[in-house]
Structure 1
Amino acid sequence: MAEEPISPELSGHIDLVSKYVSRGLTNNPEDNNIALQAGLNLSYQNFYVGYWGSTLDYSFPEFQGERRKRSEQFEHDFIVGYSHNFGQWTGDIWSATYYYPGGKNTTSNELGLSYSRALNEKTQLNASISTYLYDVIYANQGDTFSTLQLQHQLNDKWATNIEVAASRFSDSGKYENNELGVTARNYAFRYASVGLAYQLLNNVSVTGQYILGGYDRYDDKQKDLGVFGISYAF
């Protein structure tokens, strides 16, 4: 008998979070108010394309001398990737383009590699590393970010995770000493966090994460902060 053709798979989520904290920068969240976020992923065999977006409480054009427009207070991430198995590991190589409406020299691209492995039926280890491919006003080419995360399913309703992150910052770039400022630290512990998730309904979960702040590229100590959210998956 002929095999049935493999169809593309579509999935997504819509989230509300108490604050949008990017990579442990708790002193200046991307959105210090309740943020609306959404993601969409289309996969076919080992390939996938995705979108992730969030509201911001600022826009880059206003920092560059223009009038604030609500329509420009967004972050849009466009992702393409390839998933593969390597022994007991599942891996992804991906490229993400970050777009901020109206901003000058703000559209960036990051190349990343992520791997995960099930340690047992309830516990999974995840690791990732990514690097910026060219200079923008908020990052230098070669800025690298890495994470290590342990996820554990406590029961059919509750799950927990522990994560640590670190960065290597380049101190050479087109916007160094200008819009980007002066990089004071080349290697930094970014944050550690512990999180809980509760499956409220089949497609609805509530989450909480407590972030222990590390350091940014300017050697500024980040504060500790709790973030809460609710997510609908489809």
Structure 2
Amino acid sequence: MRPAFIAATVAVTFALSLPLTAQAQEAQPEFSFNAAITNDYVWRGASQSNEDPALQGGIDVTYGSFYAGTWASSVDFGDGTDAEWDFYAGFNATTGAIDWDLGVTYYTYVGEPDEADYHFVEFKVAASHTFDQFTLGAAVHFSPDFYGVDEEATYLEGTAEYAINDRWSLSGGVGRQFLDVTGDYTAWNLGVGVNLTDKVALDVRYWDASVDGPLTDARVAATLGVAF
């Protein structure tokens, strides 16, 4: 059994065994919407849009500690696949000084070739802690059938964010993708975000990965988004 899968199993078991804090107040559903345009849709160090711009958007609903939503982005895999369309759900809770996020995401792809079968499910356990202007986080993502190639995959990730003020922030992350068959690799990013208004934000981020390839070379992704 791979060390990454063991880590994912331990993290899930530990998180589910915690005495999660429930919200005492009667919850009401809250909806939010987001849309964005980016010069390059980068996911874990790899361009999903063939280094071209992508349009993105999503809808979220929260009900107390629980959340669900859907998000989509245009993609270009060079095989007729037009878009990524994700569906996700989970819940947030706090134990002591740690904020937890346990969720599951179903990744689907519009226009994929019949033989591709890119669709896959991924489970997530994430923890974070905020002190002063810093937020540190760690997450484990596990898929039993990554990109439909009958391959287990685990992504271990660490993140950090520093809020300079109400408008500006610095953030970054480093992750290790463990793959049973095609090989492991590391991806990392570092970026700056600015709130242009209370609803519009710009994120400029440098990405790089340890795997060679034209779509995993070092690159800068700039994303302009609106949330309401």
TM range (shorter): 0.7 to 0.9
Query: Letter of the aligned partner of 1:232 in structure 2?
Result: V
Change (3 A) 1:136 1:212: closer
The Cα offsets for residues 159-180 of structure 1, whole Å up to 9 and x where unpaired, read as 0102111111112xxxxxxxxx
Q: Give the aligned partner of residue 53 of structure 1.
A: 72
**Matched residues in 1 for 2:40 and 2:92: separation?**
30
Instruction: Please say if residues 213 and 225 of structure 1, whose CA atoms lie closer than 8 Å, have aligned partners that are also in contact.
Output: no
For the pair 1:110 / 2:129, whether they are aligned, the reply is no
1:32 to 39, 51, 69: 51
Q: Report if aligned partners of 1:11, 1:42 keep a CA contact under 8 Å in 2.
A: yes
* Residue of 209, 212, 215 corresponding to 2:208: 212
Aligned-residue offset at 1:83: 1.4
* Maintained 8 Å contact 2:69/2:88: yes
Indicate conservation of the 8 Å contact 2:145/2:153, yes or no: no
Aligned residues: 201
Name the stretch that deviates more: 33-42 or 3-12.
Answer: 3-12
Q: Which residue of 2 aligns with 1:126?
A: 137
Give the aligned partner of residue 76 of structure 1: 85
* TM superposition shift of 1:152: 0.5
Distance in 2 (CA, whole Å) between partners of 1:165 and 1:14 is 26
CA distance in 1, matches of 2:54, 2:213: 24
Gaps of 5+ in 2: 1-23
Q: CA deviation at 1:89?
A: 0.9
Moved over 6 A (4+): none
Structure showing greater radius of gyration is 1
Matched, 1:188 2:185: yes
**Distance in 2 of aligned mates of 1:42 and 1:100:** 22
**Contact 1:22/1:30 (8 A) holds in 2:** no
TM-score, normalised to structure 1, is 0.78
The equivalent of 1:168 in structure 2 is 178
Residue 99 of structure 1 pairs with residue 108 of structure 2: yes
Q: Does 1:16 align with 2:26?
A: no
Distance 2:36 2:84 in 1: 14
Amino acid at match of 2:208: L
Letter of the aligned partner of 2:210 in structure 1?
Answer: G
Match of 2:16 in 1: none
Unpaired runs of at least 5, structure 1 = 172-182
- Report if aligned partners of 1:195, 1:208 keep a CA contact under 8 Å in 2: yes
% identity of equivalent residues: 22
Do the aligned partners of 2:44 and 2:188 also contact (CA within 8 Å) in 1?
no
